[in-house]
């Protein structure tokens, strides 16, 4: 296997797997490219405008976007904006994702790619890219739901205001700084948008992709739980269809993921690949 794609559901330890996989692959392939969340505009906005993205659990994310040709960086960044303009049309989901993947592969370098939206296309991707090892992390659904609920509660207006007030007490002079005040207000609005009915931390988009757009008589956490239940069922169904493929490795876990077996398996594929190259 030449490439490693870590493609799974959000909040299933994929970022931790990505970081360790990049570290391992670069030991054997110094020219390896690590590509983080190429279809997530919120992440890429951080990377392309601020120069970095900080994950809530693993910290600053390593990536190789700065090593890509200019035209490819522009393609990936522009395509990631599908999230903001797909208009809830199924054909627009993920934008021109195949073109992005093909352009990356044309570079001729080993790739470690991690994405938590691409799982909706897993079935076709696994069949299309036989030279790619797909790592899928499957976490106990109760733990995934709890992680989403914590994520949701941290973004409610009440919780955000509570944090901002606590910050203002520590640094009261910031209240009179219009630039910093505007920055805080923008962050509140942006976080609030992520838990809107249509978005709901990405769960709303998955639901719409599979079941169509519909107005449900649910609000807040009840809506999140409903979206999650339907989305995760679909995710597990897709996993069941691909997990017996030779180029798929599924790691199931409850609370914490042991990454070592995954790295061992990747190492086995690297060694097997090296042996194949040495065969006359």
Q: Over the stretch 149-200, which tens digit does the pLDDT of each residue have?
A: 998 888 776 766 666 667 667 776 565 566 665 565 666 666 656 667 777 8
What Cα–Cα distance (Å) separates residue 139 from each residue in 123, 165, 233? 19, 35, 12
Q: Are residues 126 and 24 in the same domain?
A: yes
Are both 216 and 81 inside the same structural domain?
A: no
**Residue 24 lies inside a defined structural domain of this protein:** yes
88 and 154 share one domain:
no
Q: Is residue 234 part of a domain?
A: no
Both structure tokens of 202: 């990405």
Q: 152 and 127: one domain?
A: no
- The answer to whether residues 65 and 126 belong to one domain is yes
Domain assignment present for 92: yes
Cα 185 to Cα 60: distance, rounded to the nearest angstrom: 24
pLDDT digits (tens, 9 = 90+) for 10-44: 999 999 999 999 999 999 999 999 999 999 999 99
Q: Summarize pLDDT for 199-214 with one digit per residue, the tens.
A: 788 899 999 999 998 7
User: Is there a single domain that holds both residue 109 and residue 210?
Assistant: no
Residue 38 lies in a domain: yes
Q: Within a domain: residue 237?
A: no
Query: 215 and 93: one domain?
Result: no
| The dihedral formed by the CA atoms of 30, 36, 38 and 40, expressed in degrees to the nearest 10 | -170
Domain identity same for 129 and 17: yes
Range of the domain at 187: 144-228
Contact 213, 186 (CB under 8 A): no
Same domain, 156 and 202: yes
CA distance 269 to 280: 19
**Total domains present in the chain:** 2
Q: Does 15 share its domain with 117?
A: yes
| Residue 166 domain flag | yes
**What is the average pLDDT across 68-96?**
94
Q: Give yes or no: residues 118 and 247 share one domain.
A: yes
Residue 238 maps to a domain: no
Residues 115 and 135 placed together within one structural domain of the fold: yes
**What pLDDT digit, counting tens, does each position of 39-74 carry?**
999 999 999 998 889 887 788 999 999 999 999 999
CATH classification at residue 91: 3.40.50
- Other CB atoms within 10 Å distance of the CB of residue 209: 20
């Amino acid at each position: 296997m030449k490439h490693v794609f870590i493609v799974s559901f959000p909040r299933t330890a994929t970022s931790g797997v990505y970081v360790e996989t990049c570290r391992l692959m670069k030991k054997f392939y110094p020219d390896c490219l690590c590509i983080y969340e190429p279809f997530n505009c919120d992440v890429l906005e951080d990377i392309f405008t601020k120069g970095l993205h900080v994950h809530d659990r693993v910290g600053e994310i390593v990536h190789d976007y700065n090593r890509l040709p200019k035209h490819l960086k522009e393609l990936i960044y522009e395509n990631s904006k599908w999230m903001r303009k797909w208009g809830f049309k199924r054909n627009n989901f993920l934008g021109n994702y195949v073109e992005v993947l093909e352009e990356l592969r044309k570079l001729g370098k080993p790739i470690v790619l991690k994405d938590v939206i691409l799982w909706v296309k897993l079935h076709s991707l696994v069949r299309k890219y036989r030279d790619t090892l797909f790592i899928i992390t499957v976490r106990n659904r109760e733990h995934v739901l709890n992680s989403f609920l914590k994520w949701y509660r941290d973004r409610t207006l009440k919780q955000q205001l509570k944090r901002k007030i606590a910050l203002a007490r520590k640094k009261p002079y910031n209240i009179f700084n219009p630039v910093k005040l505007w920055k805080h207000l923008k962050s509140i609005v942006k976080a609030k948008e992520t838990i809107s009915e249509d978005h709901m931390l990405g769960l709303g988009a998955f639901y719409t992709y599979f079941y169509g757009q519909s107005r449900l008589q649910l609000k807040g956490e009840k809506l999140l739980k409903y979206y999650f239940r339907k989305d995760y069922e679909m995710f597990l169904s897709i996993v069941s269809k691909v997990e017996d493929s030779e180029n798929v490795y599924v790691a199931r876990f409850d609370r914490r993921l042991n990454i070592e077996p995954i790295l061992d398996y990747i190492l086995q594929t690297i060694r097997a690949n090296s042996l194949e190259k040495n065969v006359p």
